[in-house]
């Protein structure tokens, strides 16, 4: 992660690379009653930094976690049989392959069709290269829930059905996030796995997502006291999300300090539609 963060834009970056909207800059300046350019400059860099990290964080995470759980990172060589894949693993006669996206709204219609085309064009090659007769393809999303998805990811499955006219399918994608069919003598299983579903699949246990959250909090968050009860956050529902009222004072685990538990709830909110005490 440190090497990835080191490649993010610094204060020396040229303004032309920031792709800012003049209207947004002026409106933001009005809201904050700015009078000098140095004031708006102070806000531009953090905003761009978040945008850049959202683009690159997924690659950082997959490069670290895939090998830990026994998967091979697939080099992203453009216009090759494997360019649509980020990870792969062979288990018996099954080759599991995956493409990973950072969040639940990263896909558009064209990309969804491209993934379907890649599966049909290259899955037989993937199977032959690894001497298997079954390919299990997963479109994995590193955080979010199915309800948060823009549903373009599901269109990968719909495109597979449409392109084959439903022929060879033993499991239709209608009303579900999986499909199964036979193509060119190969059994192909395709699925969409979002958030905790993806991490459970990768790690082989429902605790895998918690392992990742905990490890990242330990690596990224400095140990310190939590915000005090009654702290007024600017974001309306943030206090309810990170509240420690449901955590007894006697609760103690060795992997996280009490001051880091708020961060655990903060992260977990990205993997569910609602937190319930």
146-158 pLDDT per residue, tens: 999 999 999 999 9
Strand segments, DSSP code E, in 142-177 are 169-171
| pLDDT (mean) for 165-180 | 97
Counting beta carbons within 10 angstroms of the beta carbon of residue 146, is it exposed (0 to 12), middle (13 to 18) or buried (19 or more)?
middle
pLDDT one-digit tens code per residue, 23-74: 888 999 999 999 988 898 888 877 777 766 766 777 888 888 999 999 999 9
> Distances in Å between the alpha carbon of 101 and those of 28, 72, 138, 159, 275?
31, 17, 11, 19, 24
From the list 219, 217, 220, 195, the residue with the least C-alpha distance to 208 is 195
pLDDT band (50, 70, 90) for residue 205: very high
pTM, two decimal places: 0.86
pLDDT for position 52 = 67
Which residues, 6 or more positions from 195, have their beta carbon under 8 angstroms from its beta carbon? Answer: 104, 141, 142, 143, 144, 145, 209, 270, 271, 272
Mean pLDDT of 125-139: 96
Per-residue pLDDT of 65-116, as tens digits, reads 999 999 999 987 777 899 999 999 999 999 999 999 988 888 999 999 999 9
In whole angstroms, what is the distance from residue 19 CA to residue 25 CA? 11
């Amino acid at each position: 992660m440190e090497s990835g963060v080191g490649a993010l834009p610094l204060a020396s970056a040229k303004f032309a690379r920031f792709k800012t909207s003049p209207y947004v800059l002026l409106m933001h300046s009005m809201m904050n009653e700015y009078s000098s350019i140095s004031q708006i400059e102070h806000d531009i860099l953090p905003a761009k930094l978040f945008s850049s990290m959202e683009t690159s964080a997924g690659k950082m995470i997959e490069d670290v976690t895939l090998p830990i759980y026994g998967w091979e990172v697939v080099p992203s060589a453009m216009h090759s049989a494997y360019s649509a894949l980020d990870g792969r693993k062979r288990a018996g006669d099954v080759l599991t392959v995956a493409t990973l996206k950072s969040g639940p709204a990263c896909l558009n219609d064209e990309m969804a069709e491209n993934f379907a085309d890649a599966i049909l064009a290259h899955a037989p090659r993937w199977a032959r290269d690894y001497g298997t007769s079954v390919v299990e393809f997963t479109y994995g999303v590193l955080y979010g829930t199915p309800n948060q998805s823009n549903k373009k990811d599901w269109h990968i499955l719909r495109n597979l059905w449409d392109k084959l006219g439903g022929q060879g399918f033993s499991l239709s994608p209608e009303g579900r996030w999986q499909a199964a069919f036979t193509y060119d003598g190969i059994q192909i299983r395709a699925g969409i796995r979002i958030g905790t579903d993806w991490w459970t699949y990768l790690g082989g246990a429902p605790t895998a997502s918690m392992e990742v959250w905990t490890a990242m909090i330990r690596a990224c968050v400095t140990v310190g006291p939590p915000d005090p009860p009654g702290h007024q956050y600017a974001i309306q529902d943030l206090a309810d999300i990170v509240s420690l009222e449901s955590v007894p004072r006697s609760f103690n685990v060795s992997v996280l300090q009490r001051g880091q538990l708020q961060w655990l709830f903060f992260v977990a909110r990205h993997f569910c539609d609602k937190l319930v005490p």
